[in-house]
Amino acid sequence: MKDPGKSSGMHFHRRAFLQGSGAVAAATAISGGAAEAASRASRLVRSKTQITLHVNGSDHQVAVEPRDTLLDVLRYQLDLTAAKPVSSDGSSGASTVLVDGKPMTASTLLAIACRGKKIETCESVSSHHPDRICRTFVKHDSLQCGFCTPGFVVAVRAFLKRHPDATREQIRQGLNGNLCRCGTYADMIEAVVDLVKGGGNG
Amino acid sequence: MAKTGYAWPSREKSRLLGKSHDRIDGLVKATGEAKYTYDVNLKNQLIVKCLSAPFGHLRITKLDTAPAKEIPGVVEVLVFPHAGVGKEIQWDGELLVAVAAESESAAREGVQAIRFDYEKLDVFTNEEDLEAAKAAGRTMRTRSSEPTTEREPGDDDDEDEFYEAEFKRLFDQCDVVVEGFYGIPVITHCCLEPHGSTLEYKDGKLRVYLSTQNVSGTDDGFAKALEMGADQVEVICQYIGGGFGSKFSPGYWGIAAARLAKSTGRPIKFMLDRDQELKIAGNRPSGYIKVRLGADKNGEIKVWDSHQWGTSGYRGGGVSDRVVPYVIQAPSRRVRATPIKVNAMQAAAWRAPNHPQACVMTQCALDDLAARLGISSLDVFLRNVKHISSRQKQEVYAAELKRAAELIDWKSKWHPHGKGPAKGSVVEGLGIALHTWGGTANNSECRLRIYPDGGVESFCGTQDLGTGTRTVCALVLAETFGLNVEDVRVNIGDSKYPPSGASGGSTTVGAVCESHRRAAQDALARLFETVAPKLSAKPDELEVGVGCIRVKGKPDRSLSWREACALLGLKPLEVTASHKRGAASPLSDEGVGGVQIAHVAVDRDTGVVRMKQFVAVQDMGLIVNRKTATSQVHGAVIMGIAYALFEERILDPSTGQFVNAELADYKLPRIGDVGEIVVDLYEPEDQRARGVIGLGEPPVISPGAAISNAVCNALGVRVPVLPLTPKRVLDAIRQANGRG
Amino acid sequence: MKSFEYAEPRTEEEAVEFLQDAGTTAVVLAGGTDLMGLLKKMVVTPDRVVNIMEVDSLKEIRLLPDGSLAIGSAVTLDELLADPHLADYGGILDAVHGINSMQLQSQGTLGGEVLRRPQCWYFRRDGELLDGRRVIEGDNRYHAILGNQGPAKFVSASRIAPCLIALGAQARLRCAEGERWCDVADLFQIPRRADQQENTLAPGELVTHFVLPPAGALQSATYEVRHGAGPDMPLAAAAAVLEFSGQRVKEAQVVMGQVAPIPWRADAAAEVLVGHRVDERLAAEAGRVAVAQATPLSHNEYKVQLAQTAVRRAVLRAAGLETGGF
């Protein structure tokens, strides 16, 4: 057995880590004092508490237990039901929302951990004021039963932000975090190809 | 009433029918506004979560629910009638106790607090192994269909002896005899919206938001259980997150929800958890088969002799032997079937019940015949078109085979089984299968109103499973009245509307086309009577133009639709029309065919199969909405790719536990797995003339066999059992190499 | 989920304090892509959940003066993909790309991925990690083919750890008493008793950083055999790190994933490579050697070939050659 740490080019020291590190200051900082203790207490939540969630551009006051998921709070307290409960571990992508612009599954986020973050659900647009993604999904019939569709719509928003010029191959590669049972994938690919070409505008 | 009789306009005269239209509820779904049963939040509702059986076969020895009631937020606890102490439970996941609480978390904590114990009983899950099932005493009596042979037994013959001798003689006459084993395990419906309801009981009335394929047919079940009149129950389902044949009844969980609503006086939301959904809310029977197939040297089949087995769950079952052999019938044949009982929930109808399995169990053998003879599978299928027994015509299949072959470019891509060029470890192959389905129009009634302001509104207790039913209804009305789709308002999804049949068997589009076209033609005839004097014409001299009613041949004598409707006076014109399932009609028919060809690539080193291209040629009578029809075929093919390459129920052999009942483990294809799908809707004039025929199920039948055949063509090795996972592919290759 | 307290520390000290308060069992929450499912299933039932995502020092990617690269454990997977410093660590990027879901990549973290709880459907059903008999008698198609002689039959779930180990990466850990360092390889152990789990962390200990040696001349690759395009667990995987002297391999490390209860070092396979030019034949030989000691269970013999293929293709990819396959 070889020790990789002793292989040439694979050796280093923790000293290097500490050089110029923010962690140096942090590691040597002396904690204490009443203010410190109070702020620490505020960062420990033992039971149901009032928090503010910033969803689709406005603030919402909600009372949550530490264990409440963002998905449950959206669905049961804010009646925002576009994000769906399909899998407990997020593997279906049906509860996809944007958190500070990034696609995440609301079913695997604690609501309390979302304080101070910008949450955007599929409902940030409406059927009266749809965005081009929704319009293009309809144009290509990229939906059937529709239960997974809002999760896909939000995922496509995130995908196009990162890959505005995505190729067909990138589309097939990039949207595998969401699951559809009706089999809308073929029409979904066409919709995203169309969106890349500027479809859905006007 | 319409004197001219009900009919569809010709292709040339159809302004909307057969063209591509956006679905009218598309934006509501895409923006997430659509409220599914799971999404309906009633004020003050309680959430139900359940304790479910943790073992495949058990007897309950202890069940103390008192601790659950102590959990903060728990309001009510209900023990299911089948789940008291001493009761035997036959499968993992069966619901035992329902806990209603103020939140999901509280309900789950309540479930966790229940004191429950059980005695483990014997478990059997190995449905693939007939001998093991026999040894475990889990087989039921073998059914034998009456053999079909050239000669018939005489009065003095012992039938068994006669047929043994006769089949020996028939096989001896064949140039080639192929023996094969094929199988297709249980899969689940895996609806993304689990089964369940949100409901409230108020003032002696029950209002149920139910995730159902059967809006008009589920009120009875609730009414009976709660001993109330069916007219006191309203079932509503505006949107449903998948059903695929598993959502026809309230389910015992639905009944329990209603009881809880009544006992607590509060609205109840009772949706199954994901693992419960997979374990108890719907699965498709398995089928395994040993086949002997005799043919001549050109690949024309002569004799079929098979023995199949499989399961639908704890009561036996399996794939029906009446659809084996599937579509292509050997002139002489014998079929036997042995049901096996396993510790699992009983199966439910799954999109085209029995057909996908039967297609695999039959047409893989046909493809092995081509492999044995070293000739093209296309030639073998074409040669056997004359043996097709189907509600679709043989010439249609022949035409569809040729179209599919052209679309996939069979000529340049085909090679004999296992003889294609390899690019490193990657080989490619083509495979064919074909299918049939009924798709008759179900019962349906439509109430139609034309308002004096020109508005048109229909009411029908049907449901939209995602096929685009609402849009189909609107298209039929708009076509009939010369209006645009957005000019009509369609109301479905409520049991207070006129009844319409359950959505099963691809019967819905036919059903609503029947009822809506009839209602519309009837209403138009009445409107013509009202309008005729104003246009100084007889009613039968009138016709509909775009947005107007006019005298035939005299376009200057016309009234706009609004002007015409204004003549109705103050009261809307109301018409009700219906269709009865099975009644002959010029508007609908039954019996379709379809041919599919798969093009796959297989990595021999990893056993991974990739879809390259898939061609689906499908007839369906008259096309109503080309866009949604095409996406139905896309969806069916993808669901077929799912069971061909990915999904299966895996039961633990010693505990009966359904070990892959979460979506991280229950493999399904993703957007990167489906390759390119080419859909060809086959609608020549003679097919269009038959009227509307259901489409939802037929294209899901062939993918299993087509993909299995393509993999066999690529490898030169049959991977006998679906899904064709890396494990199964590698195991088959190893076995073929004689190292297994 | 069982009720729990929620803590949201801002510093590493605060994090370890929250983790080590007397009388509570606490777990670290990072992206939540693994933990949340386990909490819901009540496979994990802590008194307290400590969310480390607001600790700035855990979110840094920092090039150290000696050329090595420190990555905070709360750095998300998509941040790894986007960071130019990672460009020379192909094997890490391969593994992150394999987790083929934008959601998992933007939510999941490096620390969470490396310490992902074991893959075993029995464990994930009821939390029992060491019921080896159940696995032997049960359906073990995805279970271990190496290191499976004890009660642990599950497979280590991390997709990045094999490459980290092959690179010789180290981990920095914090607890209330201070910090310690160890090879990433030493974070993992095959548990044999009920009081052990699959990692070597002491209760309340927090992995703060991973430090990768300078990429320099190292060429790394990960190859995963995946059933489909989704983010599901691979069936077998391997990471290879090669250092060349001219055309010949000077140093090599090969580590397999998804085949054993820990990331499985294939040192004998690495030996095969040293001193030679990499070609298809040599890579194939490394693959064969890597699985020579495999002890497959009743349903997973196919994984031996998959692991062998993964090693072969990882070596080829690390050498900049065509892997074959799709």
A73 reaches C (C-beta below 8 A) = no
| Cβ within 8 Å, pair A109-C107 | yes
**Residue with token string 């079913």:** A107
Question: Which residues in chain C show pLDDT less than 70?
Answer: none
Q: Which of residues 143-202 of A touch C (CB under 8 A)?
A: 155, 158-159, 162, 172-179
Query: What CA–CA distance (Å, rounded) separates C251 from C278?
Result: 12
Q: Which of B104, B123, B606 to mutate to test the interface with C (most CBs of C within 10 A)?
A: B606
Q: Flag whether B41 is in a domain.
A: yes
The CA-based angle B56-B58-B59, given to 5 degrees, is: 165
Q: Which of residues 86-115 of A touch B (CB under 8 A)?
A: 86-89, 91-92, 94
Residue A36: band (very low, low, confident or very high) from pLDDT cuts 50, 70, 90: low
| Same domain, residue pair B567 and B623 | no
| Same domain, residue pair B595 and B540 | no
pLDDT for the residue A179: 98
Average pLDDT, chain C: 97
**Domain assignment of residue B489, given as a range:** 441-457+468-579
pLDDT for the residue B383: 98
Q: Flag whether B115 is in a domain.
A: yes
Q: Flag whether B190 is in a domain.
A: no
Q: Where in chain A is the domain with CATH 1.10.150.120?
A: 132-196
Q: Which of C6, C121, C155, C291 to mutate to test the interface with B (most CBs of B within 10 A)?
A: C121
Nearest CB partner across the interface for A1, out of C68, C209, C267: C267
What is the crossing angle of helices B219-226 and B251-264, to 10°?
Answer: 50
The CA-based angle C108-C111-C113, given to 5 degrees, is: 50
pLDDT for the residue A24: 43
| Same domain, residue pair B115 and B231 | yes
- Return the amino acid letter for A183: G
The helix/strand/coil state of A195 is: helix
What is the crossing angle of helices A185-196 and A149-162, to 10°?
Answer: 30
Pick from B607, B595, B606: nearest CA to B711: B607
The nearest alpha carbon in chain B to C323 belongs to B424
B736 reaches C (C-beta below 8 A) = no
* Residues of A in Cβ contact (< 8 Å) with C36: 69, 88-90, 107-110
Query: With contact defined as beta carbons under 8 Å apart, do B483 and B545 qualify?
Result: no
Burial (CB < 10 A; 0-12, 13-18, 19+), residue C23, is exposed
pLDDT for the residue B2: 44
Closest approach of C192 to chain B, Cα-based (Å): 23
Chains that touch B (3 or more CB pairs under 8 A): A, C
pLDDT for the residue A41: 76
E strand intervals along B247-300: 268-271, 283-284, 287-295
* Residues of B in Cβ contact (< 8 Å) with C229: 669-673
The helix/strand/coil state of A161 is: helix
Q: What does the pLDDT average to over A179-194? A: 98
Does A30 score more than 90 pLDDT? no
Q: Flag whether B350 is in a domain.
A: no
Query: What CA–CA distance (Å, rounded) separates B475 from B480?
Result: 8
- Tell me the domain boundaries of chain C: 5-318
CATH number of the domain bearing residue B238 = 3.90.1170.50
* Residues of A in Cβ contact (< 8 Å) with C229: 172-173, 176
CATH number of the domain bearing residue B482 = 3.30.365.10
* Residues of B in Cβ contact (< 8 Å) with A147: 36, 192-193, 239, 241-242
B102 reaches C (C-beta below 8 A) = no
A125 reaches B (C-beta below 8 A) = yes
Does A34 score more than 70 pLDDT? no
Q: Flag whether B328 is in a domain.
A: no
* Residues of C in Cβ contact (< 8 Å) with B652: 134, 138-139
The nearest alpha carbon in chain A to B670 belongs to A176
Pick from C258, C132, C113, C125: nearest CA to C194: C132
Closest approach of C195 to chain B, Cα-based (Å): 24
| Same domain, residue pair B543 and B665 | no
Q: Where are the alpha helices (DSSP H) in B87-158?
A: 104-113, 130-135
Write out the H or E segment, with its range, that includes residue B200: strand B196-202
Q: For residue C141, what is the DSSP state?
A: T
B244, B271, B298: which is the final residue of a domain? B271
Query: What CA–CA distance (Å, rounded) separates C38 from C100?
Result: 21
| Same domain, residue pair B657 and B688 | yes
The nearest alpha carbon in chain C to B649 belongs to C139
Query: What CA–CA distance (Å, rounded) separates C131 from C135?
Result: 7
| Cβ within 8 Å, pair A146-B241 | yes
φ and ψ at residue B286, rounded to 5 degrees: -95, 160
pLDDT digits (tens, 9 = 90+) for B616-656: 999 999 999 999 999 999 999 999 999 999 999 999 999 99
Q: Flag whether B527 is in a domain.
A: yes
Nearest CB partner across the interface for A22, out of C57, C64, C66: C57
Closest approach of B90 to chain C, Cα-based (Å): 19
The nearest alpha carbon in chain C to B104 belongs to C1
Distances (CA, A) of C317 to B610, C242, C265, C313: 21, 10, 18, 6
pTM: 0.97
CA C199 to centroid of chain Cα atoms: 11
* Residues of B in Cβ contact (< 8 Å) with A148: 192
Q: Flag whether B569 is in a domain.
A: yes
Q: For residue B92, what is the DSSP state?
A: T
Burial (CB < 10 A; 0-12, 13-18, 19+), residue B457, is middle
* Residues of B in Cβ contact (< 8 Å) with C145: none
pLDDT digits (tens, 9 = 90+) for A122-174: 999 999 999 999 999 999 999 999 999 999 999 999 999 999 999 999 999 99
Q: Considering only the C-alpha atoms of chain C, give the largest distance between any 2 of them, rounded to a whole number of Å.
A: 60
pLDDT for the residue A2: 41
The nearest alpha carbon in chain A to C170 belongs to A5
Query: What CA–CA distance (Å, rounded) separates C238 from C255?
Result: 6
Nearest CB partner across the interface for A67, out of C3, C34, C267: C3
B213, B240, B271: which is the final residue of a domain? B271
| Cβ within 8 Å, pair C209-A175 | no
Total count of domains within chain B: 3
pLDDT for the residue B150: 87
Percent of chain C whose predicted confidence (pLDDT) is above 70: 100
Query: With contact defined as beta carbons under 8 Å apart, do A194 and A142 qualify?
Result: no
Q: With left for phi above 0 and alpha for psi between -120 and 50, is residue C258 left, alpha or beta? A: left
pLDDT for the residue A11: 45
The ipTM assigned to this model is 0.97
A157 reaches B (C-beta below 8 A) = no
B253, B271, B289: which is the final residue of a domain? B271
Length of chain C: 326
Return the CATH number of A132-196, one of 3.20.20.140, 1.10.150.120, 1.10.3210.10, 2.60.120.260.
1.10.150.120
Query: Which residues 6+ apart lie within 8 Å of C83 measured at CB?
Result: C61
Q: Where in chain A is the domain with CATH 3.10.20.30?
A: 49-124
* Residues of B in Cβ contact (< 8 Å) with C117: none
| Cβ within 8 Å, pair A183-B634 | yes
| Cβ within 8 Å, pair C102-A175 | yes
Query: With contact defined as beta carbons under 8 Å apart, do C157 and C116 qualify?
Result: yes
Nearest CB partner across the interface for A44, out of C3, C5, C251: C5
Closest approach of A118 to chain C, Cα-based (Å): 15
* Structure-block tokens of residue A20: 């110029």
CATH number for the domain running over A49-124: 3.10.20.30
Q: Flag whether B259 is in a domain.
A: yes
pLDDT for the residue A3: 45
The helix/strand/coil state of B443 is: coil
Query: What CA–CA distance (Å, rounded) separates C17 from B691?
Result: 74
E strand intervals along B485-605: 488-491, 542-545, 548-551, 554-560, 573-579, 592-603
Question: Which residues in chain B show pLDDT less than 70?
Answer: 1-4, 739-740
Q: Which of residues 628-687 of B touch C (CB under 8 A)?
A: 645-646, 650-655, 657, 659-660, 662, 664-665, 667-673
| Cβ within 8 Å, pair C70-A107 | no
pLDDT for the residue B739: 53
pLDDT for the residue A6: 43
| Cβ within 8 Å, pair B104-A72 | yes
- Return the amino acid letter for B73: G
CATH-assigned architecture of domain C5-318: 2-Layer Sandwich (3.30)
CB pairs under 8 A between B and C: 103
| Cβ within 8 Å, pair A145-B242 | yes
* Residues of C in Cβ contact (< 8 Å) with A45: 5-8
* Structure-block tokens of residue B27: 């934006």
Length of chain B: 740
